[in-house]
Amino acid sequence: MVVGSLIAIPLTVGAAGMALADDYSASSATAGPNGTYADRVVSAVDDEGNAFYLRQQVATGPGGASSNTVAAYAGDDHPHHHNHHGNYNNDDDEDYDGDDQGAAFLWSSNVAGPNGASSAEIASSAGDWDN
């Protein structure tokens, strides 16, 4: 599933102990009498050329709350593939041949207020991923 996998991308980059060739991250948060706002951006290219991007924004206020996420991945690993050993290392996966190329994108928006709630999502992937 693309949605769960893209959310897991930053965890994969951080938890898998990848050596990152290039990376960028920034975050900010504010709070005041009218609400809160937080913004986070993470972008990285690992030493094998796989590229990751994530931006998350959340806001709360007297009228409700909202969150937005944009995530993207391009490379030759399966960011969404969680193998039977419980990790994201594809080397242990007998179905993974190491030559797969792919890309994935996710956009989601959630809003809730006193008059109701709304949620929207766009997710897509392309490439040689068959799992």
Predicted confidence (pLDDT) per residue in 2-44, tens digit = 444 444 444 444 444 444 457 899 999 999 999 999 999 999 9
pTM of the entire structure? 0.65
Is the confidence at residue 73, as pLDDT, over 80?
Answer: yes
% of the chain residues with pLDDT over 70: 63
Domain span holding position 109 = 2-127
For residues 108-128, average pLDDT: 93
Q: Residue 16 corresponds to which tokens in the numbers above? A: 């898998």
Number of domains in the chain: 1
**3-state SS string over 51-84?**
EEEEEEEEEEECCEEEEEEEEEEEECCCCCCCCC
